[in-house]
Amino acid sequence: MPWNLWTILKNYIGKELTEIPIPFNFCEPLSMLQRLVEDYEYSEILDKAAMASDSCEQLAYVAAFTVSSYATTSNRTAKPFNPLLGETYELDRTDDLGWKCISEQVSHHPHVVAQHCESKNWICHQEFSMTSSLKGKYLQVKPLGMTHLTFLSSGNRYTWKKVTTNVNNIIFGKLWVDHHGEMEIVNHKTGEKCVLQFIPSEPFSPSKQRKVTGAVMNAKRELVWVLNGTWDNKMEASKVAEKRSQVKGKQVLETEAPVVVWQRRWPPPEAEKYYNLSEFACQLNELEEGVAPTDSRLRPDQRLMEEGLPVPQYEPIWFKKEMDTSMYPIDDSVYHLYKGKYWECKEKQNWSVCPDIF
């Protein structure tokens, strides 16, 4: 009988699904480490944000950047490979895009990825994990962990968490992905914040699909920017005018002409032949000399499933657990922070610290 997701998942309704083995025909040829690097496909938004005239405008661009990371999911329903414990992935696009990124699978139970990306204008790091469960006709994925972004010139530091994702039509019909929930992006230096609302899609109402709205507020919680758009196409930002009008005795905010703060680069028509990957995603698997022997590019296309084997304690190579002791600490949590030396080891081609994971 042909494989279908319902055949596999029907016995796991209401249970955690991250450990369920999924056949290869439901996967795409990328590791989760590589999939997370796709968050930076529109990194030029962060470069624009670094040059913003004020912190509230910068926050509007940061909000657009967070939305852009969801665009590729509009026509991709395949699952990336789970990384092996200790697997890494590097992407050095310094020459053309101005940034480089290193990711590592730092825990296997639960699955946790630590990632550090840096450019001359900003540094971004995140720790990604998730829970997933079957809710009848749809699969729900709740990301865990937080993303931290710091602009080097101003010292503005932002944090946010990803919203919930649903994979619909598990039982029958064509699979489609939707994102919903509230995302709060906070500037911990100034106290400003942006609240984004990912509105649940209504499949039979084209005007109510994939919509995102948002509001940027200053430290006094006064509205400064308004955002509107969709997570699969573009986002616009409108600055609130200083002038207020009165309608029936009530104050009405007026906005300036909207500015496009993010516009999607659509994949070519033939993308359906290769898992609907964008041009950027297709470049992630290109072989490069000098990468760590644990790099995702070097993993075999097919791997044996691990069954019931004890997993030894793993000590991450490029990240370490420590308290957030920065100038603007968020809470008392312990994070996996980048401890350096990866790029120095690559320059010297000294990978002696890497475990043999393949």
Task: Write the CB contacts of 68 (distance below 8 Å, at least 6 apart in sequence).
Answer: 41, 42, 45, 235, 262, 264
Return the pLDDT at 135: 78
DSSP for residue 232: T
User: So what's the pLDDT on residue 96?
Assistant: 96
Beta carbons within 8 Å of 346's beta carbon, 6+ residues apart: 90, 290, 291, 292
For the chain, what percent of residues have pLDDT higher than 90? 59
Sign of CA dihedral 231, 236, 242, 244: negative
Question: 246 forms bridges with which residues in the sheet?
Answer: 251
For residue 143, how many other CB atoms are within 10 A of its CB? 18
Position 11 scores a pLDDT of: 61
The bridge status of strand 27-31 relative to strand 79-81 is parallel
Q: What is the pTM of this model?
A: 0.85
Token pair 């002696």 in the structure block, residue:
352
- pLDDT score, position 355: 87
pLDDT confidence of residue 242: 74
Give the closest residue to 31 by CA, choosing from 91, 82, 88. Answer: 82
Query: Which positions of the chain have pLDDT values less than 70?
Result: 1-25, 243-251, 300-313, 325-332
Closest by Cα among 274, 266, 284 to 74: 266
Gap between the Cα atoms of 332 and 315, Å rounded: 22
The pLDDT value recorded for residue 1 is 32
Q: Which ranges of the chain would DSSP assign to H, the alpha helix?
A: 5-9, 32-37, 44-50, 55-68, 279-282, 342-348
How far apart CA 84 and CA 104 sit, in angstroms, is 9
